[in-house]
Amino acid sequence: MTLAPQTPRRTGSSSGPARTGPARRARRGEGTAGWLFTLPVIVILGLFLLVPVLMALWVSFSDWTGRGSPLAPGVGFVGLDNYAEITSGGGLPERDFGLAMRNNAWYVLLVVPLQTGLSLFLAVLVNRAVLRGRGFFRTAFYFPSVTSSVAITVLWMFLFSSSGAVNQVLSWVGLSGPNWFNDPRGIVHVALSSIGVDSGPAALTGSDALGVTWWDWLSGPSVAMSAFILMAVFTTSGTFMLLFIAALQNIGPEIDEAGLMDGASAWQRFWRLTLPQLRPTLFTVLTLGLIGCWQVFDQIYTGTQGAPGKTTLTPAYLSYEAAFRDQRWGQGAAISFILFAVIVAFTLFQRWALRERDGERRFRKTANGGAP
Amino acid sequence: MTAIAKPAGPQRRRTRPLAQACLYAVLGALALVYIFPFLVQVATSFKPDAEAAANTVALIPQTFTFAAYDRLFAHSDFPLWFANSAVVTVAATLGRVFFASLAGYALARLRFRGRSLVFALIVAVMAVPSVVLLIPKFLVLNQLGLYDSYAGMIVPLLVDAAGVFIMKNFFESIPVSIEEQARIDGAGPFRTYWSVVLPMARPALVTIVILSFQGSWNELSHFIVATQSPELTTLTKGVASLSSGQLSQGTQYPVKLAAAAIMTIPVAILFFVFQKHIVNKSEGAVKG
């Protein structure tokens, strides 16, 4: 592996203008090969991703009822009717969509911070330099992530059944747990009723959005949904922990040691020195978490099918149910596109909220180093 | 405690025994929370129905029985589900390894018109959430006459954009000189890819194998919209139907939990075999 003779060859390969005949012919061969090599990917992705999305977009604007092809001449264009029906129709579809959005919004609101916080916490603990048995703990925390959502849901239904392991463990410390997956009460409502508030003020119960009163929007996730929230935190924290561990290992100990010399406490060093360096990973984890959380489907399909009292209904499951069970294909497709828009909007918002404040940083640099 | 009383230099503060003990206590408690559910699962699968419902925490069954496993393997479609999952997973994994590395190589190394456009489209496709594709996939499979067939189950899983992305990044990270030697020796692009580049790409190929095996084995929604006949039921779909109450009577937790435990075994084996690699992979993903 002598480096010197290879250097001129490498310079030659970077596309210079002076090329000899054979080399140009080789490049033409490359063109064909390039397209041939990428063809399977292009065809399959095109056929099962791009075309389907376009077709579903058409269905969301049509009155197709599931019989025959949606491209058949009898299928009519109905404009935004399907979208209007689920966002302002005043009927059951609108209310179901409102409930699904309510349930999933609470799910996101709780799962994303909890899984990010817990995975970061686990990563910091496991990453302690002096720790023995690091491999064991890493394995233990990561293992739930490799199992399928179906298998975990089956297990969860058992653990959280009325006389299940969770309630038995709770009874050891004198608590009587709820009948988790059959309890439709929102946890905020439960907390309020424990201090004597059983119904909301007229301002909240009198008006509504998407067919769900504001009082019901603020109910919190139902007890059943809370069990799913715990499950999501349990199954995803391991994956995100690995991402944080990798990032922590890439941070050199120098800055931390400098902080130590300056007398900063462990707490200060973590918040002021370590966390800012984890910003890119934090962004990745929050984005992946957010995208994943808006797509809850497997768990609902396997576990509760939206019950109890439609409090575990999610837009993804509602979209499936509307299309495949109720044959309201246009509405089902419309729900999935609204969901798509929600995911894109959240991702963009997050990117904006967590952006590197480049201007400030550059300014500070110039102010410090640029002065003559 | 004596260590704390000593004058605390930077080095000494890091190894306080009390802090260490706390660290291990917290980690141990957390590990117990993470492992305990799986222990309960395995234990329950060996209990009779009545005991499983009555005593849900005990890790040692009072009456030890294989009834749940006997029922799954001898008196249900479970073996068929397992076989279907295995066929689909193996086919999808082989396809992804081949197509992803082929396309990744082309996008990293071969110069052709439209290359950056193709890459941009693949990245864009990665951003489409899979749940949005439930209805669309069914529409296209139906239109193509692939609905309710092995082809309809396998072909859409043969390619995934993330795999192409990983392979492209990998090929860009290895030096180009060896391939150039092969090309000067007169090897065409496919030969160079097949006999020179692919053997060097083992670490990245292992990543693709892990991701696609786990992804296909655990896939549920695609099979829900792609099939309906019982002969094509996969493990995920079958176990989900067990869970949502297609068993005749009672809760029958041992059978459900045994089924869930068995479907976890293949991915668990994969995980333990490639454990080192999985940990390094996530590191590489962040660096890249």
Nearest Cα to Cα of residue A137 among B268, B19, B272, B30 = B30
Q: Is the dihedral of CA A330, A332, A334, A340 positive or negative?
A: negative
pLDDT value at residue A234: 96
Instruction: Tell me, yes or no, whether B113 and B181 share the same domain.
Output: yes
Distance from CA of A243 to the nearest CA of B (A): 6
3-state SS, chain A, equals: CCCCCHHHHHHHHCCCCCCCHHHHHHHHHHHHHHHHHHHHHHHHHHHHHHHHHHHHHHHHCECCCCCCCCCCCCCCECCCHHHHHHHHCCCHHHHHHHHHHHHHHHHHHHHHHHHHHHHHHHHHHHCCCCCCCHHHHHHHHHHHHHCCHHHHHHHHHHHCCCCCHHHHHHHHCCCCCCCHHHCCCEHHHHHHHHCCCCCCCHHHHHCEECCEEHHHHCCCCEHHHHHHHHHHHHHHHHHHHHHHHHHHHHCCCHHHHHHHHCCCCHHHHHHHHHHHHCHHHHHHHHHHHHHHHCCCCHHHHHCCCCCCCCCCCCHHHHHHHHHHHCCCHHHHHHHHHHHHHHHHHHHHHHHHHCCCCHHHHHHHHHHHHCCC
Instruction: Tell me, yes or no, whether B136 and B231 share the same domain.
Output: yes
The CA R_g of chain A, rounded to the nearest whole Å, is: 27
Q: State phi, psi for A222 to the nearest 5 degrees.
A: -70, 165
Residue B72 lies in a domain: no
Residue B52 lies in a domain: yes
pLDDT value at residue B214: 92
pLDDT value at residue A26: 52
Q: What residues of B are in contact with residue A55 (Cβ under 8 Å)?
A: 136, 139-140, 143
Q: What residues of B are in contact with residue A332 (Cβ under 8 Å)?
A: 135
CATH assignment of A84-315, given 1.10.760.10, 1.10.10.10, 1.10.1740.10, 1.10.3720.10?
A: 1.10.3720.10
Predicted confidence (pLDDT) at residue A372 exceeds the cutoff of 60 = no
Nearest Cα to Cα of residue A288 among A248, A239, A226, A246 = A239
Residue B228 lies in a domain: yes
pLDDT band at A301 (very low <50, low <70, confident <90, very high): very high
Q: What residues of A are in contact with residue B15 (Cβ under 8 Å)?
A: 130
In angstroms, rounded to a whole number, what is the distance separating the alpha carbons of residues B160 and A122?
A: 31
Query: What pLDDT digit, counting tens, does each position of B139-181 carry?
Result: 899 889 999 999 999 999 999 888 999 999 899 888 888 888 8
pLDDT value at residue B100: 93
Helical (H) or strand (E) element with B186: none
pLDDT value at residue A122: 94
Three-class SS of residue B248? coil
In angstroms, rounded to a whole number, what is the distance separating the alpha carbons of residues B257 and B44?
A: 7
Predicted confidence (pLDDT) at residue A365 exceeds the cutoff of 70 = no
Nearest Cα to Cα of residue A160 among A185, A176, A174, A181 = A181
Instruction: Tell me, yes or no, whether B135 and B225 share the same domain.
Output: yes
Distance from CA of A369 to the nearest CA of B (A): 29
Number of other CB atoms surrounding residue B4 within 10 Å: 12
Domains held by chain B: number: 2
In angstroms, rounded to a whole number, what is the distance separating the alpha carbons of residues A40 and B95?
A: 10
Distance from CA of A284 to the nearest CA of B (A): 9
Q: What is the CATH number of the domain that holds B170?
A: 1.10.3720.10
Number of other CB atoms surrounding residue B117 within 10 Å: 9
pLDDT value at residue A227: 96
Please give the ipTM for the structure prediction.
0.87
Predicted confidence (pLDDT) at residue A7 exceeds the cutoff of 50 = no
Instruction: Determine the residue of chain B that is closest to A53 in CA distance.
Output: B136
Check B189 against A37: CB less than 8 A apart: yes
In angstroms, rounded to a whole number, what is the distance separating the alpha carbons of residues A122 and A242?
A: 9
pLDDT value at residue A130: 65
Predicted confidence (pLDDT) at residue A366 exceeds the cutoff of 50 = no
Instruction: Tell me, yes or no, whether B109 and B132 share the same domain.
Output: yes
Alpha helix (H) ranges present in chain B? 2-5, 10-14, 17-45, 49-54, 67-74, 78-109, 115-126, 134-143, 150-154, 161-173, 177-184, 189-191, 198-200, 202-218, 221-226, 235-241, 253-273, 275-287
In angstroms, rounded to a whole number, what is the distance separating the alpha carbons of residues B262 and B268?
A: 10
Q: What residues of A are in contact with residue B72 (Cβ under 8 Å)?
A: none
Predicted confidence (pLDDT) at residue A235 exceeds the cutoff of 70 = yes
- Average model confidence (pLDDT) across chain A: 84
pLDDT value at residue A197: 82
Check A15 against B259: CB less than 8 A apart: no
pLDDT value at residue A356: 66
Distance from CA of A33 to the nearest CA of B (A): 7
Three-class SS of residue B175? coil
Instruction: Tell me, yes or no, whether B120 and B183 share the same domain.
Output: yes
In angstroms, rounded to a whole number, what is the distance separating the alpha carbons of residues B57 and A167?
A: 10
Can you list the pairs that A168-172 forms with residues at least 24 positions away whose Cβ atoms lie under 8 Å? A168/B56, A168/B57, A169/B57
Beta carbons within 8 Å of A315's beta carbon, 6+ residues apart: A97, A100, A101, A104, A294, A335, A336, A338, A339, A342
**Region A226-248 average pLDDT:** 93
Nearest Cα to Cα of residue A283 among A244, A239, A226 = A244
pLDDT value at residue A332: 93
Is the distance from CB of A140 to CB of A262 less than 8 angstroms? no
Residue A140 has its nearest CB partner, among B34, B99, B282, at: B34
Nearest Cα to Cα of residue A85 among A328, A340, A356 = A328
Instruction: Tell me, yes or no, whether B251 and B115 share the same domain.
Output: yes
Q: What residues of B are in contact with residue A319 (Cβ under 8 Å)?
A: 131, 134-135
CA atoms within 13 A on the CB side of A246: 24
Determine which of A262-276, A297-311, A355-369, B108-122 has the lowest per-residue pLDDT on average.
Answer: A355-369
Q: What residues of A are in contact with residue B68 (Cβ under 8 Å)?
A: none
Instruction: Determine the residue of chain A that is closest to B118 in CA distance.
Output: A42
Distance from CA of A193 to the nearest CA of B (A): 31
Three-class SS of residue B270? helix
Instruction: Tell me, yes or no, whether B216 and B265 share the same domain.
Output: yes
Question: Strand pairing partners for A222?
Answer: A186
pLDDT value at residue B228: 92
Between B65 and A350, the more confident residue is B65
Instruction: Determine the residue of chain B that is closest to A302 in CA distance.
Output: B240
In angstroms, rounded to a whole number, what is the distance separating the alpha carbons of residues A14 and A12?
A: 6
Three-class SS of residue B234? coil
**Region A126-135 average pLDDT:** 76
Instruction: Tell me, yes or no, whether B217 and B244 share the same domain.
Output: yes
Interface test with B, best of A14, A36, A38, A269 (most B CBs within 10 A): A38
Residue B106 lies in a domain: yes
pLDDT value at residue A200: 79
| pLDDT by residue, tens only, chain B of 288 residues | 334 444 444 444 455 788 888 888 999 999 999 999 999 999 999 999 888 888 888 888 888 999 999 999 998 899 999 999 999 999 999 999 999 999 999 999 888 888 889 988 888 887 787 878 888 899 899 889 999 999 999 999 999 888 999 999 899 888 888 888 888 888 888 888 888 888 888 888 998 999 899 999 999 999 999 999 999 999 999 999 888 765 555 678 899 999 999 999 999 999 888 877 766 655 444 333
Residue B119 lies in a domain: yes
Distance from CA of A165 to the nearest CA of B (A): 5
In angstroms, rounded to a whole number, what is the distance separating the alpha carbons of residues A176 and B176?
A: 65
Instruction: Write out the two tokens for A71.
Output: 């491209």
pLDDT value at residue A134: 83
Q: Is the CB of residue A169 less than 8 Å away from at least one CB of chain B? A: yes
Conformation bin of residue A170: beta by default, left when phi > 0, alpha when psi is -120 to 50: alpha
Instruction: Tell me, yes or no, whether B217 and B128 share the same domain.
Output: yes
**Region A92-119 average pLDDT:** 95
Cis peptide before B48 (omega within 30 of 0): no
Question: Cα angle at A148 between A143 and A149, to 5 degrees?
Answer: 110
Amino acid at B63: T
pLDDT value at residue A14: 39
Determine which of A200-204, A355-359, B107-111 has the lowest per-residue pLDDT on average.
Answer: A355-359
Instruction: Tell me, yes or no, whether B47 and B190 share the same domain.
Output: no
Distance from CA of A80 to the nearest CA of B (A): 18
Between A165 and B251, the more confident residue is A165
Distance from CA of B272 to the nearest CA of A (A): 9
Distance from CA of A47 to the nearest CA of B (A): 8
The residue segments making up the domain with residue B277 are 77-287
Three-class SS of residue B209? helix
Q: Is the CB of residue A285 less than 8 Å away from at least one CB of chain B? A: no
Is the distance from CB of A293 to CB of A108 less than 8 angstroms? yes
Check A320 against B224: CB less than 8 A apart: yes
Interface test with A, best of B118, B134, B181, B185 (most A CBs within 10 A): B134
pLDDT value at residue A83: 94
Instruction: Determine the residue of chain B that is closest to A71 in CA distance.
Output: B143
Q: What residues of A are in contact with residue B10 (Cβ under 8 Å)?
A: 257, 260-261
Three-class SS of residue B63? coil
Check B125 against A55: CB less than 8 A apart: no
Residue A131, CA distances (Å) to A42, B97, B117 in order = 47, 37, 48
Interface of A with B in 49-78 (CB under 8 A): 49-53, 55-56, 59, 69-71
Interface test with A, best of B132, B137, B257 (most A CBs within 10 A): B132
Instruction: Determine the residue of chain A that is closest to B125 in CA distance.
Output: A49
Q: State phi, psi for A177 to the nearest 5 degrees.
A: -75, 160
Predicted confidence (pLDDT) at residue A371 exceeds the cutoff of 90 = no
**Region A203-232 average pLDDT:** 90
Check B263 against A158: CB less than 8 A apart: no
Determine which of A8-12, A159-163, A260-264, B41-45 has the lowest per-residue pLDDT on average.
Answer: A8-12
Instruction: Tell me, yes or no, whether B31 and B147 share the same domain.
Output: no
Q: What does the longest C-alpha to C-alpha distance in chain A come to?
A: 88
Beta carbons within 8 Å of B184's beta carbon, 6+ residues apart: none
Instruction: Determine the residue of chain A that is closest to B21 in CA distance.
Output: A131
Beta carbons within 8 Å of A202's beta carbon, 6+ residues apart: none
Instruction: Tell me, yes or no, whether B92 and B235 share the same domain.
Output: yes
pLDDT band at A265 (very low <50, low <70, confident <90, very high): confident
Check B112 against A297: CB less than 8 A apart: no
Residue B102 has its nearest CB partner, among A37, A152, A344, at: A37
The DSSP 8-state label assigned to residue B57 in this structure reads S
Query: What pLDDT digit, counting tens, does each position of A31-42 carry?
Result: 888 899 999 999
In angstroms, rounded to a whole number, what is the distance separating the alpha carbons of residues B199 and B220?
A: 33
